[in-house]
């Protein structure tokens, strides 16, 4: 199992990166991404630290730790530039905070982020079929999330992605110890969104494909 969306106390999470990595290792995960919330105000401060920490933990914690970011509440006009900047600063995985049902994300963020070369659109809420088709065309993954609140739209995301031919990944969006789930529990949440066991296997494969691409 691979989790490509987590947060530490470098943004609004509760855990040190080292403890987060250890908890995932103990649950049998192969890899985890550190994707703390970032915008223009903190990217240069936090992202180099994430890159440094990820390299050290990969060597010492017995689990692959991927340096990444979740671009969060970014003005639409600034998304493209920040995607490029994140990659130049060493982010191997760039996520964009989608139009979740439980936060006031600006309308049109999903589409703009998909146009800007991200890797994963997180908890994209009531994503339109048109935007899901754009994700499929650009090879961008849509997220099924196990996080409370954000998971409200999982069923819609799953259905729309299937109609559009877009690929899905299953992530935790973990902020606290209680968000870090055993793989079997995470997969049951995905099935609760109407996905089949084959769909779950496909999501695992998609995560592995992402891992191979960025390593």
- Position 184 scores a pLDDT of 95
- Position 73 scores a pLDDT of 98
Q: Render pLDDT for 105-161 as a digit per residue (tens, 0 to 9).
A: 999 999 999 999 999 999 999 999 999 999 999 999 999 999 999 999 999 999 999
- Position 97 scores a pLDDT of 98
- Position 186 scores a pLDDT of 97
- Position 136 scores a pLDDT of 98
- Position 107 scores a pLDDT of 97
- Position 89 scores a pLDDT of 98
- Below-50 pLDDT ranges, the chain: none
Angle CA 126–178–140, to nearest 5: 35
- Position 3 scores a pLDDT of 98
Full set of structural domains in the chain with CATH:
2-214 (3.20.20.140)
- Position 99 scores a pLDDT of 98
Cβ neighbours of residue 137 closer than 8 Å, sequence gap 6 or more: none
- Position 51 scores a pLDDT of 98
Q: How many CB atoms lie within 10 A of CB 204?
A: 16
CA 198 – CA 81 distance, rounded (Å): 37
């Amino acid at each position: 199992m691979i989790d490509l969306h987590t947060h530490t106390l470098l943004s609004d999470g509760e855990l040190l990166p080292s403890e987060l990595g250890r908890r995932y290792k103990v649950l049998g995960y192969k890899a985890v991404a550190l994707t703390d919330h970032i915008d223009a105000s903190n990217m240069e401060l936090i992202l180099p630290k994430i890159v440094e920490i990820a390299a050290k933990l990969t060597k010492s914690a017995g689990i692959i730790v991927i340096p990444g970011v979740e671009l969060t509440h970014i003005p639409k006009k600034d998304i493209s530039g920040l995607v490029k900047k994140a990659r130049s600063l060493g982010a191997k995985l760039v996520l964009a905070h989608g139009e979740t049902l439980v936060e006031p994300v600006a309308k049109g963020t999903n589409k703009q982020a998909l146009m800007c070369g991200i890797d994963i659109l997180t908890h994209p809420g009531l994503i339109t079929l048109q935007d899901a088709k754009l994700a499929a065309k650009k090879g961008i993954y849509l997220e099924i999330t196990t996080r409370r609140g954000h998971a409200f739209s999982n069923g819609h995301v799953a259905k729309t992605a299937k109609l559009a031919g877009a690929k899905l990944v299953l992530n935790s969006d973990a902020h606290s110890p209680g968000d870090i789930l055993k793989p079997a529990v995470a997969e049951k949440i995905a099935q609760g969104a109407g996905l089949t066991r084959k769909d779950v296997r496909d999501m695992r494969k998609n995560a592995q494909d992402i891992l191979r691409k960025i390593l």
